[in-house]
Structure 1
Amino acid sequence: MKGLRETPVCSGRGSKVILDIALGFKLQATIKEGLYCFTKSSWCLQTSRTRSTEEYMHAALNFVEMANRNTGNLEKILCPCKCCRNMTHHTSKDVYEHLVINGMDPIYTTWFHHGEEPTAAQKPRQVEMSEAHNLYSAAYARDADHLEPLDKAREDNFAKELEDAETPLYSGCENYTKLSAIVTLYKIKAESGWTDESFTKLLASLHHMFPRDNAMLHSVKEVRKFLKTFELCYEKIDACVKDCCLFRKENAQLENCPKCGRSRWKVDAKTEKIVTGVPAKVLRYFPIIPKFQNMYRSLEMAKDLTWHSTHGSRDAMMRHPVDSPTWKTIDAKWPSFAADPRNLRLGLATDGFNPFGDLSSTYSCWPVMLVTYNLPPWLWMKKENVLLTLLIPGPKQPGNDIDVYLQPLIEDLKFLWSNGATIYDKFTGSTFTMRAILMWTMNDYPAFGNLAGCTTKGKNACPLCAFNTFSQWLKFSRKTVYMGHRRFLPLSHPFRKKKSWFDGKEEKGKKPRIMTGREISLALKDFENDWGKGGKKKRKREIEDKEMWKKRSIFFDLPYWEKLPVRHNLDVMHIIKNICESIIGTLLDMDGKSKDGLNARKDLQHLGIKHDLHPQDRGTKTYLPPASFTLSKAEKQIFCKRLFDLKVPDGYSSNIANCVDMEKLKITGLKSHDCHVLMLQLLPVALKGLLQPGPRNAIFRLCAFFNRLCKKVIDSEEIAFLEDEIVETLCMFERFFPPSFFDIMVHLPIHLGREARLSGPVQYRWMYLFER
């Protein structure tokens, strides 16, 4: 185009070509709308090729001139390009360049930031919808133009219930309808833990307090029956009490478990008779496809689900999983899936909890939740966007048999990958075939083993080192420990030759290679899963490679699972908590928490290492020489006093002083977030000037590692440096701390850097959200 020239501009990632305004090419004072060759609505649809045409540039110039004119010719105006999104101010020239390079933000259709008044059709209408109608829309609504209509009898029945629900609570009541009042009260009952009996008494009292013609229900039974009409759909699936199978598909008509023979129905505890028709155990499955359909029926949500497509990182920093190599690997391996930004990327998490809130109860209920990574950072972790998919009943945890309960979810995920679901997109006003991929799972370490199908204790407790895990049994401490971190160092590192600092041997081993998903899948190809807790199992292992595997995980039924770089994430939250408690317990020599003691010193003597710490017999007593990590009583008082007197801003953390016992010099009752704050920031402050330099520096380095690992924005180059640094840090711990200190949680940080490098920031993959 005449009057334009190409100017290369250097950036941190290389050079790119931008279109610059040439000399003599001035902004026109007025451009009539008749000169537009692009309509306003087509701004959002232009590609980099069409944005270089003369027509598009005239339209961009016209926009800049209109914005200057409407804002009073200010020096800078808001930039509405896809990158800036009206968040930053630039000069008119820069705004024009951004529009040509990046294009207009497709969401920004009414230019109210630049002085345009919305038309009557564009102004939002305030439409008040009843609570009953909202519940109806969420549970049953369909788009008549795109999906099949509901059953006529069902709609007629619901219409009657809807009319009844919308009646005022009593004559003259303007604030509450029958439904809104009941929903409000029932929510308070759930949040406050009221019993059914107390709630029934409240309803009866309110019914008598209100005027005679009130619509208030009398009992909790009537409330549940009334709300049942509006509840979101879920499936009740009967299960074997020993977790052998689900009574669905080929087992749907069976009365007894085909494996263990136990009855499908409940057994009366007193008479020991079978109560036919009352299932002994029920799995509740909340189908995910209707939930995704509901998400795309919301205009705002449908818009937010494509946020990731225009907000990728441009400076090599990772702020969101969209910037991670795993996301890019999926795009490269399956370009047809990546072509439509409306396809979903999911993460799965599960953990057990006691629904009764009673610490004396051992009941364990397991919810299985999905999160959607398409959403922006401020929305993906909101509780309304976390999808509950399965509710696995107790009283005992499913353990390795959790795959039995995951079957309906995995089937839907396979369908969404292979076939896809037809969904109406409210934002674009069109129907499309939505597909979904499960990127990874997030769990604490025991649940990690349950989902991955591997052991989390014993000689092969590390699922990443697998059969190359360096483990050692301590005779007197009676535990397996995991050291040998010098193997991960470069071959020329001086630590490899320091015999006296470590186990008395020169390290010549090599860094273990992590097994790929393909290798695991092939190794477990012929593995026969044995579900259920019907008795003691003695599995014969004909192949040595299956020793660490307890099952072939159901996730390998997903066609793409074995090709993902990271399938199961180590939970940073629980790792930090366990390591923090181990360090504090050892430093303060707390009973039951310290990793040092008589048995630990006997293990040193048995192994023939660290001779200066061996126990010494002095008549009837055994003397334990102080170690380099041992705090004197005065140092313990200083350490505890610093934490006791600590004052932090409101909302920064809980009051850690409540956990400090100044008399016994102990710190107990720390929550996960307390340990997080201590390890990342407070522990180095509290230990300043205490301990010997060696162990103190090792602790400081570990705290600095977690501090940089848990940043919201991470640099892949810095993470690569952290991967090397954590190896050296753990070797320093081996030098100063006894072998009994090194449980599996102390070993796992060596793999956290790799997962952050492949999957992005840890806040998208830890358990804080799901534990809450």
Structure 2
Amino acid sequence: MDKSWIALGRMADGRMSKLSNDGVKLFLQFAIGVIDQNGNLLCPCIKCVNVYRQNLQNVEIHLLQYGIMQTYTIWHQHREPRVSNEAYRDDEMRVDGDEIVGGIEALVEDRIRGESTDTTQGEEVRTFDQLLTDAKRELFPNCTNYTLLKFVIEVLNMKVTNHWTNKSIDMMLEFLSRLLPKENLVPKSTYEAKKILRDLGLSYELIHACINDCVLFWKENATLDKCPTCKTSRYKISHGRGKKIPHKVLRYFPLTPRLKRLYMSRKRAEDMIWYKDKRVDDEILRHPADSDEWKEFDAQHPEFSLEPRNVRLGFAVDGFNPFGNMKNSYRLWPVILIPYNLPPWLVMKDPFCLMSLLILGESQPGIDIDVYMRPLVDELNDLWTNGALTYDASTNETFRMHAALFKIGYTNHRCYLPEDHPERRKSRAYNGKIEKRKRSLELPVEKIQHQLDNVAGVIYGKQPSNRKRPRQAPNWTKDTKAERTGEIRGRIINILCKLEKIFPPAFFDVIIHLAVHLPRKATLGGPVQYRWIYPIERFLGALKKYVTNRARPKGSIVEAYIVKECITCCSIYVDGIETVHNRPERNENRGERQQGLTVFKETARPIGLITRDAEMSQEIRDIAHWFVLYSSVEIEKYLEYVFH
């Protein structure tokens, strides 16, 4: 079937051509078999985007007036079969390597379809009419490379990527406005550029808080002027002059639209179910989905796990000084959520760390953080219970998305109580069981002194006679299998027992004892890189760079973060420039695979000074030889035979 007429829908002259008219009639004849009882069918024009139903006459008018969706070349919504999932993906997304070349039109289509689940048809048309217009308007007469929308996206992408100030963007826009023909549509300022993208961005809410952290003036307290707990005024004293200024303001970034946006892009929607479709389940801990806690959650909540698009979230809170001056007591405390559905190379990256709350306080919120967490907790409860209607761009269907907070808690502390404590016998208030386990061993003072007396021959300080211990073979590690964590824990306990014969009890503080629990924690929660603080610290460093107005640090961070969110989403659809999605990795270790043994296949960037023709001792040669043998999958069976 000839579908070349679809490309003519880009221009008004093309839509009025005979080839386009014949193509529309051909489509209507093909789709007549899917008309519903009311005589309507899904309209594939760029306004209705297969979301709204129209009668045959209106569908014909829409296709001639607005044009058909440029990416709708396989009419699967109108009974045309898909050849295969891969063929459909390639046609819809037009993937070229790792770059998505769907363009700005695909962005507008995805945005309209992704948002249509929460708004009426009239609201949808009014909201995106201007967006569609900007996506088609030439930047200047006879400009074939850039529309107004694409130009604004690329300019703001450069601003976000290179941390340009508003003034530098204003100067550049003014220069381009003078450089290009007089009829150009270049925005006059950064403010005007942001206004063009306002329908693509996400919003945030300002919620007033009590100065003593008692309550939020939200929902049932929204109309109060005084705190219902401490009776303190909600506002600063202004003596009746000017606008009322609250003592504290919480910035809240609604979670639901941000999770829905992950499914708005065809590429990201596929990444969100990577753990289900493409993860290799070979009992090796590479992803949180390999952990016991994830599997236990699936067993306890089978309804949730049946839908792989349901989102599992990590949670992190940390504070920072936006001015970089530790003498200043001003602190901001972001609450960050991380979608664990994503593959390992995306999950902990900056673009996917979702800031949910921005709390102001001179010190750590402590237990008062529960007050500020209420909007997020209420939304998480709603996502768990009711879910949110979400459009999946990869399958062109709508589903109800639920979310759960993935967090490990260590309970059952009753075993540390005395054996006759009444709390041990209470079952309903805890896990439904009576606690019969004994508490951990407590060393008496006499035994500690006896161990100290047995310690001898220890020389402290950096004296010349204190020679370093001989160099040991390095502890090269590979991906840890879940079944080996128990073995590792046993080895750690044996090592600690041997150390007790050498070192005094003071050596065995909580950090040393922590090693006993690390294997079990890895089994429960998966690899440590999905739970440590380093990505969060980098994220806070990025937020600190957003402070351009030291008098309004919170406003600077929030406004810059909103622009960054928008550009991060839009830049997926822009090709030919560097974005957060295609920039080179800091550690480019995923090069071309070479031939030979597995240990030599991966190309890697060398670390440290490269020396040539250096002499290598026999000890270093033996270590290198041992590493090659230990890391080569091809001889694992031989090594097992030798050792056992």
* TM-score, length of structure 1 as denominator length: 0.47
Out of 505, 519, 526, the position equivalent to 1:753 is 519
Q: Which residue is 2:488 aligned to?
A: 722
Q: Which residue of 1 aligns with 2:304?
A: 337
Q: In the alignment, which residue of structure 2 is the partner of 1:347?
A: 314
Tell whether 2:228 aligns with 1:255.
no
* Partners of 1:267 and 1:280 within 8 A in 2: no
Change in 2 beyond 3 A, CA 1:632/1:612: farther
Quick one: structure 1 residues 297 and 132, their matched pair in 2 at CA, closer, same or farther if it must change by over 3 Å?
closer
Task: Identify which of 80, 84, 95 aligns with 1:109.
Answer: 84
Change (3 A) 1:424 1:225: closer
Q: For each residue in 1:676-697, what CA deviation from the matched residue of structure 2 results, as whole angstroms up to 9, or x when unmatched?
A: xxxxxxxxxxx6538xxxxxx9
Aligned to 1:264: 234
The one-letter code of the counterpart of 1:689 is: P
SS at match of 1:302: helix
> Structure 1's 123 and 424: CA in aligned 2 closer, same or farther, altered over 3 A?
closer
CA, structure 1 residues 395+731, in 2 after alignment: closer, same or farther (shift >3 Å)? same
Structure 1 residues 159 and 347: alpha-carbon distance in aligned structure 2, compared to 1, 3 A threshold: same
- In the alignment, residue 341 of structure 1 is paired with which amino acid? P
SS at 1:297's partner residue? coil
Find the counterpart in structure 1 of residue 589 from structure 2: none
**Correspondent of 2:213 among 225, 243, 263:** 243
SS at match of 1:370: strand
User: CA 1:323–1:164 in structure 2 vs 1: closer, same or farther (change >3 Å)?
Assistant: closer
Aligned length: 436
Quick one: which amino acid aligns to residue 513 of structure 2?
A: H
What displacement does 1:719 show? 1.0
Partner of 2:470: 689
Q: Is the 8 A contact 1:344 1:374 kept in 2?
A: yes
User: Retained in 2: the 8 A contact 1:364–1:395?
Assistant: yes
The CA RMSD over aligned residues, in Å, is 4.8
The residue number in structure 1 matching 2:561 is: none
**Which runs of 5 or more residues in structure 2 are unaligned?**
1-81, 433-444, 539-644
Q: Which amino acid aligns with 1:407?
A: R
Deviation at 1:249, TM superposition (A): 0.9
C-alpha separation in 1, matches of 2:108 and 2:364: 33
Describe how 1:392-541 pairs up with structure 2 within 5 A: 392-440=359-407, 466=413
How big is each residue's C-alpha offset from its partner over 1:404-435, in whole Å with a ceiling of 9 and x where there is no partner?
22222222222222223233334444333332
Query: Quick one: distance in 2 between partners of 1:724 and 1:290?
Result: 46
Residue 529 (structure 2) pairs with residue 763 (structure 1): yes
Q: Is the 8 A contact 2:110 2:265 kept in 1?
A: no
| Amino acid corresponding to residue 321 of structure 2 in structure 1 | N
- 1:723 maps to a residue whose letter is R
Compute the displacement of 1:389 (Å).
2.5
2:250 counterpart SS class: strand
8 Å contact from structure 2 (residues 134, 147) kept in 1: no
- Residue in 1 aligned with 2:107? 134
Amino acid in the other structure paired with 1:433: R
Question: Which amino acid counterpart does residue 237 of structure 1 have in structure 2?
Answer: I
Higher relative contact order (CA 8 A, sep 6+): 2
SS at 1:342 equivalent: coil
CA separation in 2, counterparts of 1:190 and 1:357?
Answer: 21
Identity %: 36
User: Who is 1:322 aligned against?
Assistant: 289
Match among 261, 265, 271 for residue 294 of structure 1: 261
Distance in structure 1 (CA, Å) of the matches to 2:261 and 2:84: 24
State how far apart, in whole Å, the 1-side matches of 2:349 and 2:182 are. 42
**How far, CA to CA, are the matches of 1:279 and 1:162 in structure 2?**
39
**What aligned pairs does 1:372-391 form with structure 2 within 5 A after superposition?**
372-391=339-358
CA distance in 2, matches of 1:409, 1:432: 22
Query: Against the structure 1 CA distance between its residues 195 and 233, is the aligned structure 2 distance closer, same or farther, given a 3 Å change threshold?
Result: closer
Whether contact under 8 Å (2:283, 2:483) holds in the other structure is: no
Deviation per CA, 1:528-563: give whole Å up to 9, x if none: xxxxxxxxxxxxxxxxxxxxxxxxxxxxxxxxxxxx
1:748 maps to a residue whose letter is L
Distance 1:195 1:134 in 2: 26
Matched with 1:159 is 129
Q: Give me the whole-angstrom Cα distance separating, in 2, the residues matched to 1:207 and 1:231.
A: 25
**Partner Cα separation in structure 1 for residue 83 and residue 458 of structure 2:** 65
Q: Deviations over 1:482-523 (max 9, x none)?
A: xxxxxxxxxxxxxxxxxxxxxxxxxxx99xxxx9xx988679
In structure 1, give the amino acid aligned to 2:334.
P
Structure 1 contact 371–385 (Cα < 8 Å) conserved: yes
CA separation of 1:240 and 1:760: change in aligned 2, threshold 3 A: same
Distance in 1, matches of 2:89 and 2:162, equals 47
Cα separation, 2, equivalents of 1:755 and 1:246? 36
Task: Work out the CA distance in 2 between the residues paired with 1:136 and 1:111.
Answer: 21
Deviation at 1:348, TM superposition (A): 1.8
Q: How big is the shift at 1:282?
A: 2.7
> Would you say the 8 A contact 1:313–1:319 is kept in 2?
no
SS at match of 1:440: coil
For 2:376, what is the secondary structure of its paired residue?
A: helix
Q: What secondary structure is seen at the aligned counterpart in 2 of 1:317?
A: coil
Cα 1:205–1:245, aligned 2, differ >3 Å: closer, same or farther?
farther
